[in-house]
Amino acid sequence: MAAAAAAGGEEEWKLPPHPKIPKGKKVTIIILDGWGENIPDRFNAIAVAETPAMDHLKTTAPERWRLLKAHGPAVGLPTEDDMGNSEVGHNALGAGRIFKQGAALVDTAIETGLIYEGEGFKYLKEAQPNGTLHLLGLLSDGGVHSRYNQLQALLKGCADQGFKKIRVHVLTDGRDVREGSSLDYVTTLEHDLEELRKRGVDAQIASGGGRMAVTMDRYENDWGVVKRGWDAQVLGEAPHQFKSCLEALKTLKENDPKLNDQYYPPFVIVDDEGKPVGPIVDGDALITFNFRADRMVMAAKAFEFEDFDKFDRVRVPKIKYVGMLEYDAEIKLPKHYLVAPPHIGETSGEYLVHNGVRTFACSETVKFGHVTFVWNGNRSGQFSETLEEYVEIPSDQGISFNVKPEMKAIAIAEKACEALHSGKWDQVRVNLPNGDMVGHTGDLDATIVGCTVVDKAIQLMLEATEKVGGIFLITADHGNAEDMVKRNSKTGEPVKDKKGKYQILTAHTCAPVPIAIGGPGLLKGAQFRTDLPTAGLANVAATFINLLGFEAPKDYEPSLIEVVE
Ligand SMILES: O=C(O)[C@@H](CO)OP(=O)(O)O
Ligand SMILES: [Mn+2]
Ligand SMILES: [Mn+2]
């Protein structure tokens, strides 16, 4: 039992040998980020792209190819309408179980009111009666990093709890929700703030910017993004000043029609005298209201660390800072939070090091943490310095990935091939980002190029796996590139906007994802079971643990494979 393993000694971590599958075969695990299965029309970038390697797997070995659920409750999200995402997807892949995720945990904490009773909120209230409460996060209904109804509930709840002055620092989305929808969200927010003002609360938007340009960088790809946020939110400094957020969004887009919600530059809201209405100062309180970790870790460090050398903070306000969730349980960041995150322990990585399995993991910066930190249950670092090596290939910086849709897929594959040939590793695990990262730009042609390159990278790794007599397992964390257009939910027909242009879909989807296994090291009779029709990403960990020659921990979701004689 995994729980026993955590409590007990080394023996508890030992996994019995698989009754049929031998140990010692190298296993290549390839995660295709944002690669779902969908009808093959012209908005399906994967279907349009040349993908001979993936097509071959699907058509030549149907008993070793199937689909998996990668959205909604299958990955711990509240409802079937919740699209998948990298965090919940990689958590499920690495941990082999389904955990109620941040989105759901926050919903419950708000519904029960417990969010206001925990240590986090009490800490926040120490800023009363004089401190301003700041709320910083993604203005979105995507449910990937945040959800608007949670912000709405918090605004009201914080006013009920006695905060008299509230400032909101908005990050516009356009990645998980429709491009251009920031105007709608800000309009709704202004209305909600007006309601608070009627109750005598001084409530305003204080600053803003697009999520990809301001604050929400991840895996230390570009600290400049976090600095731009800091300057606007804390120092009240930005290249643009406006009287209102709506004016900011409209004017900036008028001046640069190519600008999209994801990339709004930072701006500060100022009063009639031109003074910023809400810089964060000593004595204030701050909630970062995103529940998802990866894109809040860097900002949380800037707000919380005394020793910090990533950029000059100029002024470090003494504030009561809480995260919606704890973003990194290993380093306890931030120290105070409103809702406890799911405890994702006893992950496959931890089991495997206890069983002597040597693992090499690699991706480029923008997805590096997905196959390491997130795979390991949002835990920093390695389980073993000697049995594991994590290699990060630097991502291109400061560009939108449609400009270079090849990204580092081939370099990642080459590193994996080297690792396979070195003989030093039993498990070689990579994430290929293109389907997702280019898919998020909404640029169909570029996404097609990205998917073509992914298939070439797959081919390289399949050949290396072949040469070393290994086994491969290819799957994805959620859909994205397989659908690049908004569709009528009833008919499935692509939707056009008022100008007659197809409405681009930059977001993830609820599509299932493929999984394929094979390679010369795989036993002849090994194939997918047919009695698990609703299996999802959480069934993958037991599967690769089997392929490495072990039985999976008993509390893991069942393995997808059987060995027929
Ligand atoms: O870019 C991100 O932060 C999300 C979308 O909001 O994508 P992914 O879950 O694939 O990382
Ligand atoms: Mn992803
Ligand atoms: Mn994504």
Q: Say if residues 48 and 505 touch (Cβ distance below 8 Å).
A: no
350 lines ligand 1 (CB under 6 A): no
User: Measured in angstroms, how far is the CA atom of residue 520 from the centroid of ligand 2?
Assistant: 29
Tokens 């990689």 — which residue? 90
CATH for 103-339, among 2.50.20.10, 3.40.1450.10, 3.40.50.970, 3.40.50.300? 3.40.1450.10
Give the position, in ligand 1's atom list, of the atom nearest the Cα of 216. 3
User: Measured in angstroms, how far is the CA atom of residue 218 from the centroid of ligand 2?
Assistant: 13
**Amino acid residing at 128:** Q
293 lines ligand 1 (CB under 6 A): no
Mean pLDDT in residue range 512-540? 98
- Identify the band that residue 7 occupies on the pLDDT scale cut at 50, 70 and 90: low
176 lines ligand 1 (CB under 6 A): yes
Please return the burial class of 466, using the count of CB atoms within 10 Å of its CB with bins 0-12, 13-18 and 19+.
middle
3-state DSSP of 301-359: HHHHCCCCCCCCCCCCCCCEEEEEECCECCCCECCCEEECCCCCCCCHHHHHHHCCCCE
Give me the CATH code for the 2-100+343-484+494-563 domain, please.
3.40.720.10
pLDDT of residue 565: 84
Residues 86, 146, 182, 559: which is the catalytic one?
Answer: 86
Summarised one tens digit per residue, pLDDT across range 343-369 is 999 999 999 999 999 999 999 999 999
Mean pLDDT in residue range 171-189? 97
Q: What is the DSSP string of 63-129?
A: GGEEEEB-SGGGGT-SSTTPPP-HHHHHHHHHHSS----HHHHHHHHHHHSGGGTSHHHHHHHTTTT
Summarised one tens digit per residue, pLDDT across range 487-507 is 998 999 999 988 999 999 999
Q: At residue 241, what are phi and psi to the nearest 5 degrees?
A: -125, 140
- Identify the band that residue 330 occupies on the pLDDT scale cut at 50, 70 and 90: confident
pTM of the model: 0.95
Q: Say if residues 192 and 205 touch (Cβ distance below 8 Å).
A: no
86 is catalytic: yes
Structure token pair of residue 460: 């390289």
Summarised one tens digit per residue, pLDDT across range 455-492 is 999 999 999 999 999 999 999 999 999 999 999 989 99
Give the position, in ligand 1's atom list, of the atom nearest the Cα of 478. 10
Please return the burial class of 499, using the count of CB atoms within 10 Å of its CB with bins 0-12, 13-18 and 19+.
exposed
540 lines ligand 1 (CB under 6 A): no
**Amino acid residing at 123:** Y
User: Measured in angstroms, how far is the CA atom of residue 75 from the centroid of ligand 1?
Assistant: 15
Summarised one tens digit per residue, pLDDT across range 202-230 is 999 999 999 999 999 999 999 999 999 99
User: Measured in angstroms, how far is the CA atom of residue 508 from the centroid of ligand 3?
Assistant: 6
List Cα–Cα distances, 442 to 253, 262, 482, 506, in angstroms.
Answer: 18, 11, 12, 5
In 140-254, at which residue ranges do the beta strands (DSSP E only) sit? 165-172, 202-210, 240-242
Average pLDDT, the chain: 97
pLDDT of residue 1: 43
Mean pLDDT in residue range 90-94? 98
pLDDT of residue 8: 66
Give the position, in ligand 1's atom list, of the atom nearest the Cα of 85. 9
Domain boundaries defined on the chain = 2-100+343-484+494-563, 103-339
- Identify the band that residue 231 occupies on the pLDDT scale cut at 50, 70 and 90: very high
pLDDT of residue 6: 56
pLDDT of residue 5: 55
Summarised one tens digit per residue, pLDDT across range 16-65 is 999 999 999 999 999 999 999 999 999 999 999 999 999 999 999 999 99
pLDDT of residue 277: 98
